[in-house]
């Protein structure tokens, strides 16, 4: 791939979004290239190679639906795919559609500036490449820019420091003494896996998670074929559903169930995994009382699973079930029962220093050969802010978002013409089956580019008013749910410290309908020019 070119579109990132975007634009006859920082395709699934990394959405649903042949031919081996299997799938997709020839690997986009004179983006990379493109498409992922914790003295530590989202497979932790921070989805998986082979593991937890057993297993003979027989219908239901899944929320409210029936419904939902539990009652994410009944049940499960009552207390969340990302566990609570694993709640025992070989709290010192950070991501905006993006008048995206991350439909930012963000703030992606959302975003962007070409328009830009109204709507919908009740990475911040709820929680079906309606109305809320 040339490292300098004049193209219709430059796509940043070769994960689920970037790969499909490239394929789709090529199909529509646009010239497009991808720039990818990693040495392979996969995005999230390329970088997150930490022990135990696995998807918490069933494999048959966490996959592309755009090609019926692909979905029929690809064989998944387990109910929930491990990182390596998803990476193999994306490698297969890249080969199957001959995508690699238009991807520059080991290359990072450093700057993208809108040129008013030509109405095009001038893009630069860290390998000295430059691109002159009509459209800039940020397929940079909502959970891709690792967040480093504010740990005093970390720079003095002389052992290895590993972040789950940038895992270095060459480091062998077997028999080592490890201090681990973070108990979200990644931390829970990494702790369970590492507990099996490290010498000693200290888990530093700040906020406990609700973790539901994955009940992972190999797909049984005939099971996959049976599911694939109705794949088209199921995919269609998922596209128009609240969260991007084929199974709808179960009718009724926990409040109206007699105790025995409530327990039966919740046991069934618990065994069906995270989506099963979220779907247990249709009002689970909206009604505090209904949610508390389910949360109480989940807290009881933690008490049953953890032997030490004090550990169980520390591991028990007090916020509404599902208001932070529900985690999927395979052996996490078992790990905490092991003699080589101990739990430290940093809200009760403050980390005051890190020395060359230990983590020091205000109560004790914990030896460490290595420190593992499962401390998450600068969600929805981090990877975009990492690029020096300047729109109209040289305005930087970071400045634009200082008053809160915003994007019309989660896809376009006022003041940044011809720029699209896949899975941006204001889109439902991170609160849905993200592959379903990604396909919708990519298809909408491709349709927009085709419509512009057909009508002779060269520039599209979100109206500031439409964008503001969309983000107001995103917030209004969020406030009808229990999501804002918890501190979570779903919330962004304004410069003056106000929370901005980023994902659109009105449902992927409703969102799709809105996007289609806007396109059909000649891109209402956008300014188009020739
Ligand atoms: P998450 O879900 O953001 O989890 C990160 C965790 O790290 C979270 O519990 C944080 O606590 C914790 N954290 C951050 N800093 C510290 C310190 N200093 N000490 C202790 N604990 C800390 O990231 P994941 O990678 O697990 O998962 C991200 C998403 O990927 C997940 O939701 C799925 O969608 C896939 P906090 O909450 O800030 O109190």
Taking only the tens place, the pLDDT of each residue in 376-389 is 999 999 999 999 99
Tell me which residue has tokens 């304004």. 494
Taking only the tens place, the pLDDT of each residue in 439-484 is 999 999 999 999 999 999 999 999 999 999 999 999 999 999 999 9
Cβ of 184 closer than 6 Å to ligand 1, yes or no, is yes
Closest ligand 1 atom to Cα of 165:
25
The predicted structure's pLDDT at residue 4: 72
Cβ of 324 closer than 6 Å to ligand 1, yes or no, is no
Instruction: Name which residue sits closest to atom 31 of ligand 1, judged by CA.
Output: 185
397: its two tokens: 């995206």
Percentage above 70 pLDDT, the chain: 99
Instruction: Give the CATH number of domain 154-230+238-373.
Output: 3.50.50.60
HSE-CB of 50 using CA atoms within 13 angstroms: 27
From 3.50.50.60, 3.30.1490.100, 3.40.50.2000, 1.10.1040.10, which CATH number describes the 4-145+378-529 domain?
A: 3.50.50.60
- CB 108, CB 37: distance < 8 Å: yes
The residues, any chain, with a CB within 8 Å of residue 425's CB and separated by 6 or more, are: 380, 381, 405, 406, 407, 410, 492, 500, 502, 503
Cβ of 317 closer than 6 Å to ligand 1, yes or no, is no
Same fold for the pair 4-145+378-529 and 154-230+238-373: yes
CA 295 to chain centre: 24
As a whole number of angstroms, the distance between CA 161 and CA 57 comes to 29
The answer on pLDDT for 1 being more than 70 is no
Cβ of 242 closer than 6 Å to ligand 1, yes or no, is no
The predicted structure's pLDDT at residue 495: 85
The answer on pLDDT for 316 being more than 90 is yes
Instruction: Name which residue sits closest to atom 2 of ligand 1, judged by CA.
Output: 184
- Dihedral class, residue 497 (left if φ above 0, else alpha if ψ from -120 to 50, else beta): left
Domain ranges of the chain: 4-145+378-529, 154-230+238-373
The predicted structure's pLDDT at residue 3: 66
Taking only the tens place, the pLDDT of each residue in 65-80 is 999 999 999 999 999 9
Cβ of 382 closer than 6 Å to ligand 1, yes or no, is no
Q: pTM of the prediction?
A: 0.97
Taking only the tens place, the pLDDT of each residue in 387-443 is 999 999 999 999 999 989 999 999 999 999 999 999 999 999 999 999 999 999 999
What is the mean predicted confidence (pLDDT) over 182-201? 98
Tell me which residue has tokens 């694993």. 341
As a whole number of angstroms, the distance between CA 383 and CA 213 comes to 31
The answer on pLDDT for 2 being more than 70 is no
The residues, any chain, with a CB within 8 Å of residue 409's CB and separated by 6 or more, are: 426, 427, 462, 470, 511, 514, 515, 518
- Mean pLDDT for the chain overall: 97
Q: Which of 83, 141, 186 best tests ligand 1's pocket when mutated (most atoms within 8 Å of CB)?
A: 186
Instruction: Name which residue sits closest to atom 32 of ligand 1, judged by CA.
Output: 325
CA 404 to chain centre: 19
0.95 surpassed by complex ipTM: yes
What is the mean predicted confidence (pLDDT) over 14-34? 98
């Amino acid at each position: 791939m040339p490292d300098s070119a004049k193209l219709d579109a430059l796509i940043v990132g070769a994960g689920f979004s970037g790969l499909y975007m490239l394929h789709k634009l090529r199909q529509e006859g646009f010239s497009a290239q991808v720039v990818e920082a990693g040495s392979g395709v996969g995005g999230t699934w390329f970088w997150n190679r930490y022990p135990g990394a696995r998807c918490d959405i069933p494999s048959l649903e966490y996959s592309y639906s755009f090609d019926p042949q692909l979905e029929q031919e690809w064989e998944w081996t387990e109910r929930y795919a491990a990182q390596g299997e998803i990476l193999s799938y994306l490698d297969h997709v890249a080969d199957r559609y001959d995508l690699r020839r238009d991807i520059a690997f080991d290359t990072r986009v450093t700057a993208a500036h809108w040129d008013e004179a030509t109405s095009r983006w001038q893009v630069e990379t860290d390998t000295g490449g430059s691109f002159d493109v009509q459209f800039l498409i940020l397929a940079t992922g909502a959970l891709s820019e690792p967040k480093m914790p504010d740990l005093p003295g970390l720079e003095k530590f002389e052992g290895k420091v590993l972040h789950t989202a940038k895992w270095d497979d060459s480091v062998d932790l077997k028999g080592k003494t490890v201090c681990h921070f973070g108990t979200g989805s990644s931390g829970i998986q990494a702790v369970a896996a590492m507990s099996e082979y490290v010498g000693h593991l200290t888990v530093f937890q700040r906020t406990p998670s609700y973790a539901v057993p994955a009940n992972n297993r190999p797909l049984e003979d005939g099971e996959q074929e049976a599911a694939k027989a109705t794949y088209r219908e199921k995919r269609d239901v998922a596209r128009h559903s609240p969260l991007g899944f084929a199974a709808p929320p179960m009718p009724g409210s926990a409040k109206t169930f007699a105790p025995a029936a409530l327990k039966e419904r919740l046991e069934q939902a618990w065994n069906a995994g995270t989506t099963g539990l979220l779907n247990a009652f249709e009002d689970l994410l909206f009604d505090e009382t209904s949610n508390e009944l389910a949360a109480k049940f989940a807290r009881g499960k933690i008490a049953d699973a953890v032997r030490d009552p004090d550990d169980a207390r520390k591991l028990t969340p007090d916020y509404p079930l599902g208001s932070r990302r529900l985690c999927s566990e395979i052996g996490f609570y078992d790990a905490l029962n092991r003699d080589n694993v101990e739990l430290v709640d940093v809200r009760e025992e403050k980390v005051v220093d890190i020395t060359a070989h230990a983590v020091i709290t205000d109560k004790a010192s914990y030896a460490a050969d290595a420190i593992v950070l499962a401390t998450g991501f600068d969600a929805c905006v981090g990877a975009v802010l990492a690029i020096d993006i300047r729109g109209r008048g040289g305005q930087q995206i970071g400045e634009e978002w200082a008053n809160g991350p915003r994007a019309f439909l989660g896809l376009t930012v006022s003041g940044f013409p011809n720029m699209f963000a896949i899975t941006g703030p204001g889109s439902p992606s991170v609160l849905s089956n993200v592959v379903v959302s990604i396909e919708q975003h990519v298809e909408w962007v491709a349709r927009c580019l085709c419509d512009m070409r057909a009508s002779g328009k060269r520039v599209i830009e979100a109206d500031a008013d439409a964008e503001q109204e969309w983000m107001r709507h995103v917030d209004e919908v969020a406030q009808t749910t229990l999501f804002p009740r918890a501190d979570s990475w779903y919330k962004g911040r304004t410069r003056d410290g106000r929370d901005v709820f980023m994902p659109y929680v009105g449902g992927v079906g409703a969102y799709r309908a809105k996007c289609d309606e806007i396109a059909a109305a000649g891109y209402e809320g956008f300014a188009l020019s020739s």
